[in-house]
């Protein structure tokens, strides 16, 4: 079956630093990748949609300069949280279009 590998599973970083989250499709090609963020009180929010070889499409209210998405190949999409702040602490999840979710990344910014 299709395997989606998301890495790291958790990360702690200092305010002002940048963190890169990787989402890999191990045995299939992902043309489109969705990135989600889970807010406190459990709601799941779509942040952006990335398409291989083109710019990502961000949902309203999501800062594209802060959450950099790169989808350079059909097997790898990355989300970089730039100049992270404590309010960016959250659970980030990827999902290739048509496939299941990644295992998620718990980001804690201190």
**Which residues in this chain contact another protein in the complex, by CB under 8 A?**
6, 9-10, 34, 41-44, 46, 49, 91, 93, 95, 97, 100-104, 106
Of the candidates 97, 58, 61, 98, the residue with the CA atom closest to the CA atom of residue 79:
58
- Pairing relation of β-strands 105-109 and 10-13? parallel
Q: Which is nearer to another protein, 60 or 110 (CB)?
A: 60
Of the candidates 86, 87, 90, the residue with the CA atom closest to the CA atom of residue 41:
90
Helices and strands per DSSP (H, E), number in the chain:
0, 10
Q: How far is the CB of 75 from another protein (least distance, A)?
A: 18
At 47, which helix (H) or strand (E)?
strand 44-51
Q: Which is nearer to another protein, 34 or 67 (CB)?
A: 34
Q: How far is the CB of 38 from another protein (least distance, A)?
A: 8
Q: How far is the CB of 60 from another protein (least distance, A)?
A: 11
Q: Which is nearer to another protein, 14 or 43 (CB)?
A: 43
């Amino acid at each position: 079956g299709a395997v989606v590998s998301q890495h790291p599973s958790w990360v702690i970083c200092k305010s002002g630093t940048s963190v890169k989250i990787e989402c890999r499709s191990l045995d299939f090609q992902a043309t489109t990748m969705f990135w989600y963020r889970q807010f406190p009180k459990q709601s799941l929010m779509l942040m952006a949609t990335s398409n291989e070889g083109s710019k990502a499409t961000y949902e309203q209210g999501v800062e594209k300069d802060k959450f950099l998405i790169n989808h350079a190949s059909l097997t790898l999409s990355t989300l970089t949280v730039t100049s992270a702040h404590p309010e960016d602490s959250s659970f980030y999840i990827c999902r290739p279009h048509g496939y299941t979710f990644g295992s998620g990344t718990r980001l804690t910014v201190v």
